[in-house]
Structure formats: C-alpha cells, structure tokens
Structure 1
Amino acid sequence: MKKILSICLFEIKRTFKKKSALVVMFAMPLLFTFLFGSIFGKDAVHSLQIALVDEEQTALSKDIIQRLMLDGMITYELVAASEAEELLASKEVQGIVRLEKGIASKLRNEEPAISFQSSPGMATAPLVKQQVNQVIQGVGVYVAAAQVGSSYFDESWESVYGRITDNGGQIQVWTEQQTSISSGNPVTGISYSSAGFSIMFVMIMMLSMTGILLEARQTGIWSRLFTTPVTRLQVLFGYFLSFFIVGWIQFFLLILLSSILFDVNWGTPVALIFLVTALLLCVVGLGMAIAGFVKTVEQQNAIGTLVIISTCMLGGVYWPISIVPDVMQKIAKVIPQTWAMEGFTTLISEGGNIGDIVMPLIVLLGFAIVFLSIGLSRIKHAF
C-alpha cells in the first residue's frame, strides 16, 4: 500500500505544480460558466415567454395548463386569444400554445389537441413542442385510465379523472412535488453552465492526466519502476488513484467556487458525492481506454479532445438536449455526459436525493465498467 500511495502522491504533486494545469482545472471552467451563464441569464432560465390560450375552459384543460406551468425553462402566460396575437406581434412572447375546443374527445381519439404558433426563426420551437407533447402524453394516459375506470365504477370518465387528480392520485402527488420543487430552486443559466463546464473540463483534465501513462512508457519510467520491488498492479492502481483524487479535488473546488461566485446550489451533498464519484470513474476509465489504443501523448490529446468536445455538444453540456432534433436526442442516450447532466440538473433543480438519480448513477457506472475494462486490458498488454 505504501508503494501505491507513493506513486499516487508523486503524480498529484506533479500535477498541481503545473500552472497550465491549474488554468485548465479552475480558471477555464469558471470563465466559460460566466460567459455562457451570462448569455442564458443568471436568473431562472425563463427566457422563453409563451402565451397560453385556453379555448376549452374545462377542468381537463386547466389541469393541462397547471402541468405546463411547472416547466422550469418556459414561462407561460395565460391570456385571451386576441391578446396572445398582440403579444406575439409585438415580440413580447415567442409563441402561442392553444388548447383547442374538444380537447377531451381529441385526446381519447389520439388526435392533436394543442396547436403551437411560433414567431419566425424561433430556434427553440422544438423545445416548446416537446414539452407540450410530454404533458399531453402524460395526461392522455390518465384520460385512458379514467375511461377504463368509468366502466367499472359506472360513472363518467370525467368524474373518475377528477378523483384521480384531486384525491391523492399519482398526478396530483407529482404535481405537488414539482410545484414545490419549481418554486424552491429553479435551474438557471449560470447553474446549468456550471454543471456542464465542470464536467467538460474535468474530462479534459483527466484526459491530460491519463496521458501520463503514455509519457511514462515513452520516457522509460515504467521500465525503471519495474526494476524495483513493485508489481504492475501496484503501479496501475497508484496512477489510477492519483487520477481519481485529482478529479475529485478539481470537482470539489469547482462546486465550492461556483457556489460562492455564482450562488449555485448543487443539491443534496450525499447524492452529489455519489454522482461525482460515478462520473469520475467513467471519465478516468475513458481516458485510460483512449491511452490504451494510441501510441503517443500527442495522439491521446488529439483524439481525446475531439471525443470530449463532440460528445459534450451531443450530451447537453452547451445547451439542453431537449432543443435538438429527435435523432440527436436518441444518440445522446449513449453518451455519458447526457446522464451526468441529467443527474446534476435533477439535484440542482429538484434538490433530489440518491433515489432521484438512480438511473444516471447506474448508467455512469455501467460506462465506467466498460471503459475501465477496455483501458486496463489494453494498458496491460501495451506496458
């Protein structure tokens, strides 16, 4: 164990002695967070202003409106149809969502029940459409359930639906939770950017650190190490431990600095520890896997940087996944950053606990197992 710690502490000290490493670890992510966070807004991410017109005026339409207004990234304003047109013409809103008459029958027949009109050139129109569709799909499930229940209870489906939503049914419980969460700690542009760029620059730093393995082979450090009473496993574990500890120091300080400088609330500490740990295992594994396939540090940096930048774009680090086309959203499901961002935004916006981020944790640990298995097997043969 003493030999492992010696290797680990040596690499940690060497890393923090480099000024360029400190710039990448702390200065760059904070700068990018400030720049991108300022663009999206430091207040709650409510840059999308949408007029909401209720042409139906029933309990069902009001229930849909309530769910639409829970969204943390879109601000809906309930107005009359004529006023909505005026607001859109004056560019005070970016679009109009209309709950059309006969919405109940359309839902039962699986027909479009809501129309959306956006201003010309609105790049975020897909985000609004997706959010509206998700709400409609969710409500549609309960409408179908209410229809089935009406045949058993010998009453109208509207009555059954009302009991589901008003008397402790799952929709009502979910609504109360989300209302409390949304009003308590909404996602902001600065907090979203803080999570995203912390992930990205930790990945860049881990890529640089895992390049040490290639450097050690090129300079003959490994050959000299193996002339001493130390095993290959001890050497590998010493390096791995140094990568992991440096990653944790970087992420911890970024969390601390963003909390102080940008007032970012990262959520429950215990859940945050589990999520960061899973992410770091995944990132270190990815770096080691790349190191196992390339021959030089230059190749590691070139290929690794390309992989990190491209996957960060696809994984929602720069912008929310919900605004990209459906095909890109499907691709994003196989990218670690997607699940890391999902976990962090859940903790930031909902103040969730470990139970709320189980899926991101499982997926990240799955990626970690795959990457580490590939990396360790390749490095074992390469060194």
Structure 2
Amino acid sequence: MKRIATICLFEMKRTFKKKWAYVMMFAMPLLFTLIFGALFGSGSETKWRLALVDEDRTPFSEQVVKRLMTNEMVTFESVGEEQAKEMLAEQEVQGVVTIGKDVAEKFVSKQQAIHLQFLPGTTAAPLIEQQISRTIQGIDIYLAAAQVGSFYLQEDWESIFDKLTANVGRIHAWTEQGSISQQAGMTGISYSSAGFAIMFVMMMMLSMTGVLIEMRQTGIWSRLFLTPATRIEILAGYFLSFFLVGWIQFFLLIVLSSVLFGVEWGDPIGLLVLITSLLLCVVGLGIAIAGFVKTAEQQNAIGTLVIISTCMLGGVYWPISMVPDMMQKIANFVPQAWAMEGFTTLITEGGAVGDIMTSYFVLLGFAAVFLSIGLSRIRYV
C-alpha cells in the first residue's frame, strides 16, 4: 500500500507542477462554460421567438401550452389569431404555433393537432418543428395513462389527465400581460457547466494517461518493473493518481461554477456516485487509447479527435434533443450522453442516487470495457 501511495503522490505532484495543467483543468472549462452558457442561456438573443395561439381554450390545451413553454430554446408569446398574423407579417416573431380546436380528440385519434407557420426562408424551421414535437410528445404518455386509468377507475379520462399533469412543467413564457419567467429545465449556464466539466476532465485524463507512453519511450517503464514494486502496485499507483486528479478537478469546477455562475448541482451523494463512475470510465478510455498507440503525439491526436467527436454526439455542446433521431440513437453508445443525463436529473429534477442508477451502471459498463481493453494492451517492456 505504501508503494502505491508513493507512486500516486509522485505523479500527482508532477502533474500539479505544470502550469498548463491549471489552464486545462480550470481556466478553459470555465471560459467555455461562460461562452456557451451565454449562447444557449435563458437570456440569449439566439432563442427563437414564436407566437402561440390557443383556439381550443380547454384544460387539455392548457397542458399542451405548459408543455410547450418548458422549452428553453423557444420563447412563446401567447396572443390571439389576428395579432399572431400581424406579428408574423411585421417579422416580430419567426413563426406561429396554433393549437386547433378539439385538440384532445385529435391527440386521441393521432390527427395533426398543432399547426406551425414560419416566415419565408426561415432556415431553422425544421429544427424548431423538431423541438416542438419533442417537447409535447410527453403528452401522449399522460394521455395513454389517463385512458387506461379511466377504464379501471370508471372516471372520465379528462379528469384523470388533469390529476396526472397537475404538477407537470413550470412555465417559461412571454404572455399578453408580460414576461412570466421561471426556470424550466437546465439553464444554459448549468448545462454548459456540466458539459464542459466532462469534456475537460476527459482532456486532462488523456494527457495524464499519456505518461504511460512517455515512460515506455524513455525506458523508465521497464526499469520500474525491476524495483521491488509489483506490476499491480505500479498500475494501481498510476491509476489512483489519475482518478484523484480527476476528482480534484471536478470538485473544484463544481465549487467554482457554483460561486461564479450560481449553478446548483443537486444531491451531493448523487454527484459522488455519478462522478466516480464517470471518472472510472474516463480513466479507462485514456488507458485504452494509450494501449493502441506508440507515441504520445499519436495519443493526443487520436484521443482529442475521439473526445471532441463523442462530446458532440453525447450532448456536451448542445442538448441531444436538438439533433435528429438517428444521432440521438447513436448517442446511447457514448458515455458522455449518459453522464449528461445523470447531471440533468440531479440539477433540474432534484434527483437522488436512485434516480441516476441507469446512468451509473451504464458508465460502469463503459469503464469495465475500456479498462479491460486498456489493461490487456499494456506492454511492460
């Protein structure tokens, strides 16, 4: 145990003596968080503004409106039909969303219940349509549950639906009376804080695991195995140093983002469990990459490409809901997507350990695969 601790402390001291390490660990993620958080935050001018017309004016349509207004990428202004036409003609909004009459019956019969109209040449129209479609698709689940409940409870499905959706969503809207603004989901700064913490921890771990290649190139690696320390002790010492540095980086990023940006990360125990599984996965990935390359330069090039591309797929830069269905399915095969899902549950839904167990076990699965590959590829001479 003493030999493991000695190796671990030596590598940690070596890492923290490098000035660039502080830039990579703290300055860069905070800078990216600030930039992307402002870009996608609730106050961003890049948000789409749409007029919202509710022709139905029923409790069901009100739930549809609430569900629509939880979308942080779109600001809705609730107006009448004529005013919506005027706003669109004067380009005060980029489009109009109309909830038609008898919307509940149309939902039940799978007919088109919501109509969209955009300004000519609106390039973002397909993306806005996808956002709206995904935002309200949860209505179908509650509707199906209400219909099943109606059959068993001998009660109108409308009343059961009202009970089920009584606490669903918090409104983020621009109404006729003015702006009603409450948090609904992850803010831009919270999302970016989680995303870029993941990305730059991965970058740091990639750099740290590169020491295995450098030592092999300089001959230090083979000489280490001539010492009284066993292979297991040497590997455990380095693995522990990678893991602890990752934890220090993540912990300080959580503290700094809380102080500087007011991010509330949620349940501490949940964070402990999620970050631990994520770090095991990240260290495993770094060791796996190190096992397939011959030089530190190759590892940096290949590792950076892998990390950036999987971060894009995994929803680090932007919400996964913004990308096409095929990309969302592919995202299930990258660890960042599961980590972001876990952080979203903790930050926005007040989740606890039990709510993130899927993300936890999936990340452990990734860690087991990466570590198995990496350890099997390590060359000791």
What TM-score comes out, normalization by structure 2 length?
0.89
Residue equivalent to 2:341: 342
Say yes or no: does 1:19 pair with 2:19: yes
Q: Distance in 1 between matches of 2:182 and 2:138?
A: 22
Q: Distance in 1 between matches of 2:150 and 2:184?
A: 39
Residue equivalent to 1:62: 62
SS at match of 1:71: coil
**Match of 1:7, as an amino acid?**
I
Note the alpha carbon deviations across 1:221-270, whole angstroms, 9 max, x for none: 12211111111111111110000000011111111111222222222222
Residue equivalent to 1:277: 276
Residue equivalent to 1:370: 369
Q: Distance in 2 between matches of 1:265 and 1:290?
A: 34
- Range with bigger deviation, 231-240 or 89-98: 89-98
- Range with bigger deviation, 1-10 or 193-202: 193-202
Q: 1:172 aligns with which of 161, 166, 169?
A: 166
Q: Relative to structure 1, is the Cα distance of residues 362 and 180 closer, same or farther in structure 2, using a 3 angstrom cutoff?
A: farther
SS at match of 1:8: helix
In the alignment, is the contact (CA less than 8 A) between 2:50 and 2:96 conserved in 1?
A: yes
In the alignment, is the contact (CA less than 8 A) between 1:45 and 1:188 conserved in 2?
A: no
Q: Distance in 2 between matches of 1:129 and 1:20?
A: 44
Residue equivalent to 2:6: 6
Q: Aligned pairs, how many?
A: 373
Residue equivalent to 2:78: 78
Residue equivalent to 1:129: 129
The structure with the greater share of residues assigned to helix is: 1
Say yes or no: does 1:114 pair with 2:105: no
Residue equivalent to 1:163: 159
**Match of 1:346, as an amino acid?**
T
Structure 2 residue runs of 5 or longer lacking an equivalent are: 173-180
Residue equivalent to 1:89: 89
Residue equivalent to 1:313: 312
Counting aligned pairs with the same residue, the percent is 62
Q: Distance in 1 between matches of 2:220 and 2:199?
A: 30
Q: CA RMSD in A?
A: 2.6
Q: Distance in 1 between matches of 2:346 and 2:141?
A: 27
Note the alpha carbon deviations across 1:258-309, whole angstroms, 9 max, x for none: 1222222222222111111111111101000101111111111110011011
Shift of 1:197: 1.3
In the alignment, is the contact (CA less than 8 A) between 2:195 and 2:317 conserved in 1?
A: yes
Q: Distance in 1 between matches of 2:338 and 2:246?
A: 18
Residue equivalent to 1:327: 326
**Match of 1:297, as an amino acid?**
A
What TM-score comes out, normalization by structure 1 length?
0.88
Q: Relative to structure 1, is the Cα distance of residues 160 and 136 closer, same or farther in structure 2, using a 3 angstrom cutoff?
A: farther
**Match of 1:20, as an amino acid?**
W
Note the alpha carbon deviations across 1:137-163, whole angstroms, 9 max, x for none: 433344445556656666xxxx62223
Q: Distance in 2 between matches of 1:255 and 1:124?
A: 34
In the alignment, is the contact (CA less than 8 A) between 1:126 and 1:322 conserved in 2?
A: no
Residue equivalent to 2:242: 243
| 1:285-300 equivalence runs, <5 A | 285-300=284-299
In the alignment, is the contact (CA less than 8 A) between 1:292 and 1:382 conserved in 2?
A: no
Residue equivalent to 2:178: none
Q: Relative to structure 1, is the Cα distance of residues 121 and 217 closer, same or farther in structure 2, using a 3 angstrom cutoff?
A: farther
SS at match of 1:355: helix
Q: Relative to structure 1, is the Cα distance of residues 319 and 29 closer, same or farther in structure 2, using a 3 angstrom cutoff?
A: same
In the alignment, is the contact (CA less than 8 A) between 1:127 and 1:323 conserved in 2?
A: yes
Note the alpha carbon deviations across 1:94-125, whole angstroms, 9 max, x for none: 33221122323322221221112234555654
- Range with bigger deviation, 3-12 or 264-273: 264-273
Q: Relative to structure 1, is the Cα distance of residues 195 and 150 closer, same or farther in structure 2, using a 3 angstrom cutoff?
A: closer
